[in-house]
Structure 1
Amino acid sequence: MPDAILARAATPVPGLAARAARTGSSPVRDILALTARPEVISFAGGLPAPELFDTAGLAAAFQHVLAEDPLRALQYSTSEGSPALRAAIAARTTARGLATDADDLLVTTGSQQGLTLLATALLEPGDVVLVEDPCYLAALQIFSFAGARVVPVPTDDEGLDPVALDEITARERPKLLYVVPTFQNPTGRTLSAERRAAVAEVAARRGLWIAEDDPYGELRFEGEPVPWVASFPGAEDRTALLGSFSKVMAPGLRLGSLRAPAALRRACVIAKQAADLHTSTVDQAAAARYLAVADLDAHLRRVRDAYRERRDALVDGLAAALPEGSRWNRPAGGMFVWATLPEGYDATALLPEVVRHDVAYVPGAPFFAGPPDATAARLSFVTHPPEEIREGLDRLKKALGGARRHA
């Protein structure tokens, strides 16, 4: 049959699934692409400082596992994850105040996969998920793909409002609450022990699951640690705790963990089998070796000292860089500062002018599941050393000043 006839006879391919059509790209990923030029000082991405990676220690760990047992390190593995790595994670979790056995854990390809597995195991299309407002962007993507109806819970400077949580839970009958209670992304806020206890009580009384995401908890440089929500009465049998090595070792490893009650964990194992069979065997082996022979806590002390200095450089310089009437917080750890410009400013509309000055932030509006705050912006302080942060703030001041003059 001639090609022209074939072309006329061809039937269009079916369209994309509705979930693909309704779920947009991450604005953070898009901004990172725009700011990839080396001359840009970016406060946009939550990128750990690469010069602080323990490259020598990680290289030694990989060399060891490839030299000592290469066949096992390069072979298929169990979906649950390396027993040695799960034992090491369990020991660290127990030492931080939550008794955990290796069998309580599933190793995931980054903690974000853990949240995807939870959504797969728990959510039917139309189920209600409650989130902090504002919320971690990738979580909103995951719940959109799952077909969930996302309902925001109001927050204040102290984080999620438990009274509002109770009222919304009674009205909406959600299946899941997603929270980042320690150094939250995007706001850097930390939920107090009293509020965590209240969240656990609401979950137990109203009957819902909690997904507690903790990628930043070990990056505290001030104050005392606050117990996980999972440790409070009422939350023990209904909380899935997500952990990550991205911020404490290196994000390129793509290693995380999921601690969950047995039935939910088994469902997540099956979901993982369908997703990727198992997380990279060689990365798991190297991480287990690293945790066995290296001093991760000493490494984290160096990281925290550097991040504290960078936090101070950013926060102490914002008064001069941002317009009069702006507000911002001073997080006790983590990676992010949450700032709001005066009324009438639009952080999204201002971003192109800011990028033209070779500096960047992430507008706050995309983080909201409810009505957005157009004046809000997220600034990360960990990627650049203090002298570059100060230069970036000078550029930001010029960009915002120029934009204001031409408004």
Structure 2
Amino acid sequence: MTQAGTGTTAEPVATARRPGARGRTRPSRSLENTLLTGLGPGALVAGMDEVGRGALAGPVTVGVAVVTEHTSRRMPRGLADSKLLTPQARQDLVAPVRAWCAGWAVGHASPDEIDELGIIAALRLAGRRALAELAGAGLAPGVVILDGVHDWLSEPAQGELFAPEPPPVHIPGTDHEPVVPPVHTQVKADMTSAVVAAASVLAKVERDALMVGLDPAHPEYCWAANKGYSSAEHIAALREHGACALHRRSWHLPGLGDDAAVAVGAAGAVALELAARSSGRTTGRVRTMRGPPWTTPEPGSRRTLTPTPTPRGHPTCSPRSAAARTPSRWGPPPRLASPPPRVASPPPRLASPPPRRSNPPPWSAAHVGRR
């Protein structure tokens, strides 16, 4: 699901950058204006931000907002990074943000696409879907500002090894793919850049609304409250009910990982024991069943991972430790009858120090620079 729209423009109005609520510094237009000046007249600058990257369920969402040289410098009141705002404050900002920017769009990548492609490729897919919606509205940004230091929007230079091909993204009503503009990364851009902060608000509000709409179908996970992120109620529901189709099942989900880790560890221990048997050696380090590791498991016995002490002289012991544990056939080394005698007294001192030389040596400071 992707949404896009365009807003109205107004004449620039000079405003001062001032602290917002709770002492926050409001985002400014300085970075966007610098990029617009470099691009020339009529250019567009887009800000892009993602939401839901660390969630356990639901889509990953990417929002994009566009500004021009004619976009008003009087930003919506209270605009800030979406993570610093309350849900009601974010909801109240949606209409002013859409009216302030020249265009906006929101793209998503589903949990199945996250499991198939990986989170970075899924972010790229959601970002390109948002760009395709902008292109369908006739907006082609000259540069995109991304929060952070990593460019997840552009195609990797060498590709990803063994990664599946993502589905193609087309501009609505055409068979053409959107052009990905150059990317400008900026640390904390969602806090300092107005257009990135606007994109983060739009993405956060739309994804939260999606998770609230999915909550009635899966009320046990409390998505209306946690929005698919990790919480005590969410983890307890995963432990009791397991994961559903909207969870990112390729991830190590809390509440499910303990049983999976035990199963994988037991399987690894059994494989290690079978390999040791085939080579004629037993490890003696791990017992995979009740009884010694070389016995046949009885019906109904439990496979566990319990450490067992390593016997003396075992092949897995290091030579040094084996020698220390195994007594020598020649017996212990002989001990000295008595310690060596100590020196009765220190050597005698000279009665007087050696006589000083009348002439200093040729390498002394007195001869530096002389020939």
**TM tier relative to shorter chain:** under 0.3
The structure having more radius of gyration, on CA atoms, is 2
Q: Which structure would you say has the larger RCO, counting Cα contacts within 8 Å and 6 or more residues apart?
A: 1
Higher helix share: 1
What is the TM-score with the length of structure 2 in the denominator? 0.23
